[in-house]
Amino acid sequence: MTEERKIEKFGVGNLYPDRNPPEFHFFSSCIDVEMSDGDGFTFTPFFNEFKDTDDIDKYLEKYIEDKKVEKLDVRMDFMTWSHYYINPETLELEDFIEGDTNYVSYWVWNNETKKLDEVDTNSLNDEDEDDDVDWEV
């Protein structure tokens, strides 16, 4: 019987390259981010494109500044752990397998203060009844 290799050099999770398809198991907190502009991503502190940061607020503020967004609703699902399929050569995450959500928070971009303000779901999209965003609570 052959043993499965587990590579632990990443500090935020384990790579299982021998699984078919290969998997990456985060044991640090990842954040699944959905935005009302249709964009979204998984924030993986200190891994891949986020390898130099663990500050989701600064990342989102830069995203909003770069895109010159004036209005944006953001939903963040904070995961205590999560598993993804991964391309072991590029380390790009692929499909989500499973995970455990610790809590969910909702934010609205305040264009006056240039900061994200935390809100409850009832205050999202009040002025835009026809928005296509469908937040699951």
CB atoms within 10 A of CB 74: 24
- On the 0-12 / 13-18 / 19+ scale of CB atoms within 10 A, 83 is middle
Q: Dihedral angle at the C-alpha atoms of 78, 80, 85, 87, nearest 10 degrees? A: 80
Within 1-137, residue ranges assigned H as helices are 56-67
Per-residue pLDDT of 69-118, as tens digits, reads 888 999 999 999 999 999 988 889 999 999 998 899 999 998 888 889 99
What's the predicted TM-score (pTM) here? 0.76
Give the rounded percent of residues in the chain with a pLDDT score beyond 90. Answer: 42
Q: What is the pLDDT of residue 131?
A: 46
Give residue limits of the domains in the chain: 13-121
Q: What is the DSSP letter of 66?
A: H
pLDDT of 121 above 70: yes
